């Protein structure tokens, strides 16, 4: 495609970009048709994309697009992906446009990608959302959370009433929603009030998972499994991030309230109910896993929840518990409620994850698992520090949790689930 550059130079910026997209589509179709393996766009074509679509040429100054021209380009790109019927061609074209190259054009790539995906959500362009799901699966998590942040800003923060637009895509592109959940649970780690998920986002994710618990397993179910998952990419399922939300939420909201010197609010109570519902939904997802893993011949062989992420979570939880100790000046009926709830949820999540085959580890030889699985959970004032880096031998059977103490009035117990080989309470 390098020979078309001279024909693009005299054109205005929008016309040149449109013409290049047209030729790129033909070029990739021919490449796929020829059966070249692996199909790969050459460097000259990538240079053209950077020059005429991203406007970051190496050897000349080019005029920037106006806001109106950029909007028109986004509409052209939406139509281009919508009209191309072959998914292989769409995916290769999306990769050529937006795969990061480690150069100065990457910032322009991210800016254009974020606007294109946001527009695709607004106008329901499923082919672009499917391509974006693949991009999220293969790209460094730092860039994935940047895309997620733009979407949260556009649909959950900046424009009132726009949330339903994002909410409604879960049936159109479950793959995208699964990857989006993985990205936002990585972005919002509850380490500060700013990194606490907005209420509208939380409501949307709870609703998605309640409607379809298998949604968070879509990437795992539909992707070829390999042992070479890049450590920098998003997790293959968002289960670890969702567990982190549920466990840290009681202490994080308590910390945020104290920092704001504020009392309980309706918003805090709404969040507590949503995290309770989310915790129950995540446990229900775990209960789907034994059959799925057995069907794939992976039960006891593939951990969907990594021990490293559990170690990081317990380290975070230990810090939050210590902070709760330091800020507790007088004992009240609520003094131990939030710490106890967090520890209860950690115990429940680890117990069900181990029983379902999602977490492969041993019980009885680790201080971490002795703390959270030997129940009942002791009052917070007497809790032992949670080790940050437990060393766990290979998986062995474990014994059930003992019954938990009576729940706090603010966090009513939910019914026991049937069909489990041990007693547990799904969440408060």
Structure tokens at 382: 């007497």
Structure tokens at 360: 């492969």
Count Cβ atoms below 10 Å from residue 275 Cβ, excluding itself.
26
Task: Compute the distance between CA of residue 354 and CA of residue 236 in angstroms, rounded to an integer.
Answer: 18
User: Is-contact 348 283, C-beta < 8 A?
Assistant: yes
DSSP 42: -
Name residues whose C-beta falls within 8 Å of residue 331's C-beta, 6 or more positions apart in sequence.
none
* pLDDT at residue 360 in the model: 86
Q: How crowded is residue 259: how many other Cβ atoms within 10 Å of its Cβ?
A: 11
Distance CA 253, CA 268 (A): 7
Distance between CA 84 and CA 350 in Å, rounded?
Answer: 45
User: What pLDDT, on a 0 to 100 scale, did the predictor assign at position 428?
Assistant: 39
Q: What is the pLDDT of residue 187?
A: 96
Residue with tokens 């409607």: 211
What angle do helix axes 106-123 and 67-83 make, rounded to 10 degrees? 70
- Region for residue 395 given its phi and psi (left: phi exceeds 0; alpha: psi -120 to 50; beta: otherwise): beta
For residue 190, which phi and psi values (nearest 5 degrees)? 65, 25
The reported pLDDT for the residue numbered 414 is 39
* Cα–Cα distances in angstroms (integers) from residue 314 to residues 271, 276, 412, in the given order: 22, 19, 24
CA distance 177 to 180: 5
Query: DSSP class of residue 298?
Result: -
Task: Answer yes or no: are the C-beta atoms of 183 and 144 closer than 8 Å.
Answer: yes
Model pTM score: 0.83
Tokens of 145: 């959370």
| CA 205 – CA 295 distance, rounded (Å) | 27
CA distance linking residue 219 with residue 222, whole number of Å: 5
| pLDDT for residue 425 | 33
Average pLDDT of adjacent 10-residue blocks, the chain of 428 residues: 82 93 94 85 92 81 85 95 94 96 93 97 96 96 97 88 89 96 96 91 96 95 70 91 95 71 66 95 96 90 87 89 70 71 94 92 55 48 40 38 38 39 36
pLDDT of residue 253: 80
Contacts of 130 (CB under 8 A, 6+ apart): 87, 90, 173, 175, 176
């Amino acid at each position: 495609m390098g020979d078309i550059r001279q024909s693009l130079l005299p054109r205005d910026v929008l016309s040149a970009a449109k013409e290049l997209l047209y030729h790129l589509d033909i070029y990739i179709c021919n490449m796929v048709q020829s059966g070249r393996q692996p199909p790969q766009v050459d460097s000259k074509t990538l240079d053209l994309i950077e020059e005429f679509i991203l406007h970051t040429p190496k050897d000349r100054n080019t005029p920037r697009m106006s806001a109106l021209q950029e909007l028109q380009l986004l509409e052209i790109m939406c139509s281009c992906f919508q009209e191309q019927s072959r998914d292989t061609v769409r995916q290769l074209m999306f990769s050529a446009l937006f795969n990061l190259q480690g150069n100065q054009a990457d910032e322009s790539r991210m800016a254009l990608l974020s606007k294109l995906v946001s527009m695709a959500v607004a106008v329901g362009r499923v082919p672009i959302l499917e391509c974006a799901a693949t991009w999220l699966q293969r790209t460094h998590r730092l860039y994935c959370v940047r895309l997620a942040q733009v979407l949260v800003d556009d649909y959950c923060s900046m424009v009132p009433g726009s949330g339903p637009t994002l909410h409604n895509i879960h049936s159109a592109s479950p793959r995208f929603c699964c990857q989006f959940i993985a990205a936002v649970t990585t972005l919002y780690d509850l380490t500060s009030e700013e990194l606490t998920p907005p209420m509208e986002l939380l409501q949307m994710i709870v609703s998605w998972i309640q409607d379809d618990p298998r949604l968070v397993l879509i990437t795992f179910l539909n992707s070829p499994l390999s042992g070479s998952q890049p450590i920098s990419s998003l997790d293959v399922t968002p289960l670890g991030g969702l567990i982190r939300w549920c466990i840290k939420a009681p202490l994080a909201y308590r910390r945020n309230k104290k920092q704001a010197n504020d009392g309980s609010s309706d918003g805090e109570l709404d969040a507590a109910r949503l995290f309770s519902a989310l915790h129950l939904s995540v446990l229900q997802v775990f209960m789907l896993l034994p059959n799925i893993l057995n069907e794939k011949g992976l039960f006891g062989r593939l951990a969907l929840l990594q021990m490293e992420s559990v170690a990081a979570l317990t380290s975070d939880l230990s810090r939050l518990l210590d902070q709760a100790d330091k800020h507790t000046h007088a004992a009240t009926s609520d003094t131990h409620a939030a710490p106890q709830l967090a520890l209860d949820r950690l115990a429940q999540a680890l117990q069900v994850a181990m029983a379902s085959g999602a977490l492969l580890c041993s019980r009885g030889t680790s201080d971490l698992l002795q703390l959270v699985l030997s129940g009942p959970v002791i009052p917070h004032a007497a809790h032992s520090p949670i080790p940050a880096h437990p060393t766990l031998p290979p998986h062995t059977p474990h014994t059930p949790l003992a019954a938990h103490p009576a729940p706090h009035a603010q966090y009513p117990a939910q019914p026991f689930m049937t069909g489990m080989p041990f007693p547990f309470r799904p969440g408060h």
